[in-house]
Amino acid sequence: MLFRNTINVPEFETWKKNFVCSKRYSQVYDLFHTNLNKELNRKKNECLITPRDRRFGKKDINDNLYTIFWYEWILNQLNFDDLVFDIGCGNNLFKPLYLNHNLVGIDKGKFLCDIQAHLKDLDEYKGKLKSAFCFNSIHFANDEGFKSNLDYLSGLLQPKCLAVVTVNNHRLNSHRDKSIELKVDSVNRLYDTIWLSEMYDLVYFESLMEYTNVKNDLVGDIHLVIRSK
């Protein structure tokens, strides 16, 4: 269900039809199988396994395309030297696709990231980012806590810049004082909490829960884009 789209984000299925015929799709396919082989051969003493690793462990490459969709849509609008953070990047699995971009992987865990840090440890970068991605990485909070994370994230951006965030409804619901059983009520609660902010404009908000059964994976149930003020 699409709640808001004031920035003309393309419809995913339309984008996908064109993308699967492109050279970039072949690169994604090669990367997918490279990482799948790494996953199968990973030693126990190597870097930690992340949800992104497990997603690549699936055999259906299409499971990763929503993530690629957002990378492609944002990065194709930017200059190569624009500073972009991928917050919660895990082992930086997607970075090889975008080596020409100034894409920096941030994660608080002991992963193959560029900077090891929590979201709110990034004060030195306030006002410096041209964009950011947070794929299921800042939703470990209730609705108000998640809005606080969005406020902080928007403070890292330069004025009038976009950040893409995905949220797993199951994860968010588990941090509420009382869980909400009906998914539509859960989504409405989140939307009502975050839509108005002094720090950002909510310019895109879509719930995918009508046609996906994802519970705790990389592609979240809710996708949103904020634009810093």
- Average pLDDT of the chain is 85
Task: Report d(CA 94, CA 180) in Å as an integer.
Answer: 34
Q: What is the pLDDT of residues 57-83, one digit of tens each?
A: 455 566 678 889 999 999 999 999 999
Q: Is residue 212's pLDDT more than 60?
A: no
How far the first Cα of the chain sits from its last, in Å, is: 26
Fold of 2-228: Rossmann fold (3.40.50)
Query: DSSP assignment of 103-128, as one string?
Result: EEEEESSSSS-SEE--GGG-GGGTTT
Q: Long-range contacts made by residues 16-20, C-beta under 8 angstroms, separation at least 24? A: 16/65, 16/69, 19/65, 19/68, 19/69, 19/72
Pairing relation of β-strands 102-107 and 83-87?
parallel
% residues pLDDT > 70 (the chain): 82
Domain ranges of the chain: 2-228
d(CA 227, CA 205): 12
pLDDT given at position 29: 81
Please report the DSSP string for 3-63 in residue order. Answer: EEESS-PPPHHHHHHHHTTSHHHHHHHHHHHHHHHHHHH--TTSSPP-HHHHHHTSS-GGG
